[in-house]
Structures are given as C-alpha cells and as structure tokens.
Amino acid sequence: MNPRHSPEWLVTTVSAVRELMIKRLEADSLDTQAKREMEMALEELDVMWEELQGQTVLLVRENERYAEFFQYAPDAYLISDTGGNIREANEAALELLKTPRDEVVGRALAQYIAAEDRVGFLTRTVGLMFEASAKPVEWSASLQPREGDALAAQFSVRAIPLKKSGVGGLCWLVRPAT
C-alpha cells in the first residue's frame, strides 16, 4: 500500500485540516460570511469523516474475509510477482510444498519444479508476462516438494493485469494430478 494512502496518512491529514480550520475560526480574523462558510465546511468535514470511518470498517471486514477465504481454500493457491517469486501462499500450497511459509515466500516458484520440467515451466511463465491472456493457461509438470518425491501436478495460472497495461504478477492454482 502506498504510504500516502494509508489510514494513518488519512487520519493525520484530516486532523491537520480540521485543526487548521478551528484555529482560523478562533482567530477572529474572518468576517461573518467567511466564518459561517468555515463552520459549514467543518461540519461537512465531520460528516464525511464519520462516513469514511464506517466505510473503513466495512473494507477491513471484507479484506479479512477475503484473506480467510484465500488462506483456507481447499486448493493450493500461490501469488507470484513478475520475477516468478512467491509473494503469497495459502495453507494448501504450503502442505503441497511441504515447506513452512517463511521458507516459501520470497523464493522462486521454479525452485519447486522438478529439474526435468523447469525449462518448460519457465518458458511458459515468461510467455504469460508478454501475452497477458484473460483466460487461464493450464499445463502439467512435476512438483518437487522440499521433502519427498516429486509429484505430478496440474498448474492453472492467470496473469494479474495492472490497471494501465502490463502484468503485476501471476495467480496460480496447483493440484496434484489425478
């Protein structure tokens, strides 16, 4: 999150504007009309602030709900950046990789692909960065967990588009092949 748009930044900014308006009202340097306009603006600011706080509560609740859904989904989900490094992994993915979260996040997803499938995996992954398709791309490869034997897996991946253009990362669904 951009620090300029964080809740703390917003609270600080609104508080500073409110304090400035109150000081100007208390200074008696305003004529009657300007003073009334300032009081009305202050009232509007208070109403907007209350509405914003209510919306913040709803957004936080929605964010928590999404995070729980992602975290406890029965399928293995991973989010990687454009460099192929894992940024998020849910519980099912950690179980499939047999690796704790702190060892997964930040590592290249390709490290969990069996050596014989790695070149093909990387080729497809790089291709997704240039062909940001709206449809998921699917293929099979051998997944190499931290411990144990490699296992056949089905990968379904979709590019996460940026607002203007390009790709911001990849969203992965990984399932053991049946």
Tell me, yes or no, whether 78 and 56 share the same domain: no
Give the pLDDT score at 1: 46
- 168 Cβ contact partners less than 8 Å away, ≥ 6 residues apart: 81, 82, 160, 161, 162
Q: How many domains does the chain have?
A: 2
**CATH number of 138's domain:** 3.30.450.20
Q: Out of 48, 70, 92, pick the residue that ends a domain.
A: 70
DSSP 108: B
With 0.75 as the threshold, say if the pTM is over it.
no
Statement to judge: residues 91 and 169 lie in one domain: yes
The answer to whether residues 112 and 55 belong to one domain is no
- Indicate if 90 and 63 belong to the same structural domain: no
Q: State yes or no: pLDDT of 60 exceeds 80.
A: yes
pLDDT of residue 39: 82
Indicate whether 112 and 169 sit together in one domain. Answer: yes
Q: Which of 18, 39, 70 is the last residue of a domain?
A: 70
Domain that holds residue 166: 73-176
Q: Kindly tell me if the per-residue pLDDT of 90 is higher than 70.
A: yes
Domain termination residue (choose one: 70, 100, 126): 70
| Contact indicator for 158, 169 with CB cutoff of 8 Å | no
Q: What percent of the chain has pLDDT over 70?
A: 93
For residues 64 and 77, membership in a common domain is answered with no
